[in-house]
Amino acid sequence: MPEHLLPEILFRDQLETPIGTMLLITDKRARLRALDWCEYEDRMLRLLRLYGKKEKRKYELQSGTLPAAIHEALEAYFAGDFALINTIPVYTAGTVFQQSVWQALRHIPVGTTLSYGALAKKLGRPKAVRAVGTANGANPVGIVIPCHRVIGMDGAMTGYGGGLERKRWLLAHENACIES
């Protein structure tokens, strides 16, 4: 059978963090494909299936060990060393617009926040605030693609797939100035 018709093997592991058990999906090229919290596993698997349909490819999940470089970068992040998080290779299968939003998210510096409107302007699409919010919410690799750094226009805390308490913790951990 041709390789492109075979299911892609992905590896599932988990990591204990100060804010809960993180589930991580990687591929054979040691790229992070999905990251979510244990209680949101169903959502993470739905996203993987959705992205698989877009790529016309099925995935097969197997237990695996998180690649050392990803493990070390995440451990460093939770220990307060934020530099390595930017070295984690990711592969996401969203639309062109989603990819542009996710790429822009990776450029929001640690310790800072940006509103959905400001992010839309940075993308040259100032009227696409809702679309930016939707793409932000479909981010399959939170923390590494730091969707938690996006807040409301008035500086208020807004939704986060892992829950607002985790978002608050992540922003406080990064020393971001936020409204409570």
What positions carry a catalytic annotation?
Answer: 147
Count the neighbouring beta carbons within 10 Å of the beta carbon of residue 106. 14
Establish how many alpha carbons lie within 13 A of residue 159's alpha carbon, considering only the half-sphere containing its beta carbon.
10
Cβ-based neighbours of 29, under 8 Å, separated by 6 or more: 89, 91
Any idea how long the chain is?
A: 180
Between the CA atoms of 69, 75, 76 and 82, what dihedral angle is there, to the nearest 10 degrees? Answer: 90
